[in-house]
A = this chain, B = another copy of it.
Amino acid sequence: MHIRTIAWQRDAVKIIDQTKLPQRLEYLYIKDLKSLWQAIKLMRIRGAPALGAAAALGVYLGIRDSKTKDFKQFKKELEKAISFLGTSRPTARNLFWGLERMHRAATINKDKAIPRIKEILFKEAQKIIEEDRVTCRRIGYYGAKLIKDKDTILTICNAGILATIDYGTALGVVYRAKEEKKRIKVYACETRPMLQGSRLTTWELKKNGIDVTLICDNMAATLMRQGKITKVITGADRIAANGDSANKIGTYNLAVLSRYHKVPFFVAAPASTFDLSIKSGKSIPIEQRSEREVTELFFKLPIAEKNIKVFNPAFDVTDNALITAIITDKGIIRPPYFKNIRKIIKNIFRDTLSFG
């Protein structure tokens, strides 16, 4: 399958409209900042790594028509676009990482002419996209070392091609294992309320020839009890300095079940998902989303009593103690996380600074 979740084409940000899958593979061409913000908010584009790339291109959309020749004024416009994009989805660290990289690329080059800075920003966004492709393959490479022939892997939400540019994090591990001729099966949690598992994960795994079985989220415990799951692998939206990991709601649920059933539980994420400024998961901001995601299906079909109270956090936080290992593009991180994450993440900050 040769698709790219995000690309620059026809002078616009080309994305797959993920709210239309699996019924239709439909592309959107987004030409302005506000439309991009909406596409993120409405989850037409989603997945932490993809949000980093989309946000970077969004910054470019935000400043490309700037008329100013003065850097101070340009920086104001740039920061306005960055702040605006930052309000779209608070939990995904990669989104802010993408925005910060764009900001840095501009300020490092502040002495250059504005048209030149615009060029630099466009290239920086392109670089983020190209790097993501490499990053995901590195995650796959390291992660596949953990996978044995005939493993049966449980995953939640979509941490695949559609959550990145074209390979995935948790599912990148699956794709790589398959390339290595390991025979694996995947169980996909449907992932209420937005059903990324049933709509997106089954779609891309099937297209890529992976043996996949769909379950409702509440069936995972039974599968584990029957000994049918040998590993759980999920993505992450933000990982604190101590390894506590925010990911799609339901992930913490799976981590507790994994512990009880003695199933190894892995998180797969690029270095850009780590947030060393946050000591533990307690401080990770958790996005609360519309009640209608739960009471109606796709804002169309009512499935619950009207005017009922709803609790709808988009993410939960898994304690580091429940995580067997974190699979990153820099290698596999094992406990003690506070120490071992810092070792790898320091290197990454050095890497990051060399961009721009």
Q: Which residues of A contact B (CB under 8 A)?
A: 22-23, 156, 187, 189-193, 195, 198-199, 202-203, 206, 211-223, 225, 249-250, 252-253, 256-257, 259-260, 294-295, 297-298, 300-306, 308-313, 316
* 15 pairs from A and B in contact (CB 8 Å cutoff): A22-B306, A191-B218, A192-B192, A199-B305, A211-B309, A212-B308, A213-B310, A213-B311, A214-B294, A216-B294, A219-B249, A221-B250, A222-B316, A223-B311, A297-B297
Pick from B199, B257, B311: contact of A253, CB under 8 Å: B257
Pick from B199, B216, B221: contact of A256, CB under 8 Å: B221
Q: Is the CB of A199 within 8 A of B304?
A: yes
Pick from B187, B202, B302, B313: contact of A222, CB under 8 Å: B313
Given contacts A206-B305, A214-B310, A219-B312, 5 further A-B contacts (CB under 8 A): A189-B218, A216-B217, A216-B294, A219-B311, A260-B260
Q: Contacts of A195 on B, CB cut-off 8 Å? A: 303-304
Q: Is the CB of A250 within 8 A of B214?
A: no
Inter-chain CA distance A192–B250, complex, in Å, is: 14
Q: Contacts of A221 on B, CB cut-off 8 Å? A: 250, 252-253, 256, 316
Pick from B217, B219, B311: contact of A214, CB under 8 Å: B311
Distance in Å: Cβ of A300 to nearest Cβ of chain B: 8
Q: Is the CB of A309 within 8 A of B212?
A: yes
Listed residue (A216, A217, A310) with the most chain B CB atoms within 10 angstroms of its CB: A216
Q: Contacts of A256 on B, CB cut-off 8 Å? A: 221, 256-257, 260
Inter-chain CA distance A141–B63, complex, in Å, is: 67
Pick from B215, B222, B257, B311: contact of A215, CB under 8 Å: B311
Q: Contacts of A191 on B, CB cut-off 8 Å? A: 218
Distance in Å: Cβ of A193 to nearest Cβ of chain B: 5
Pick from B156, B219, B303, B309: contact of A313, CB under 8 Å: B219
Listed residue (A220, A252, A312) with the most chain B CB atoms within 10 angstroms of its CB: A252
Listed residue (A22, A257, A298, A309) with the most chain B CB atoms within 10 angstroms of its CB: A309
Q: Contacts of A218 on B, CB cut-off 8 Å? A: 156, 189, 191-192, 217-218, 249-250, 253
Q: Contacts of A225 on B, CB cut-off 8 Å? A: 252, 316
Q: Contacts of A310 on B, CB cut-off 8 Å? A: 213-215
Distance in Å: Cβ of A163 to nearest Cβ of chain B: 16
Query: In chain B, what residue has the closest Cβ to A308?
Result: B202
Q: Is the CB of A297 within 8 A of B301?
A: yes
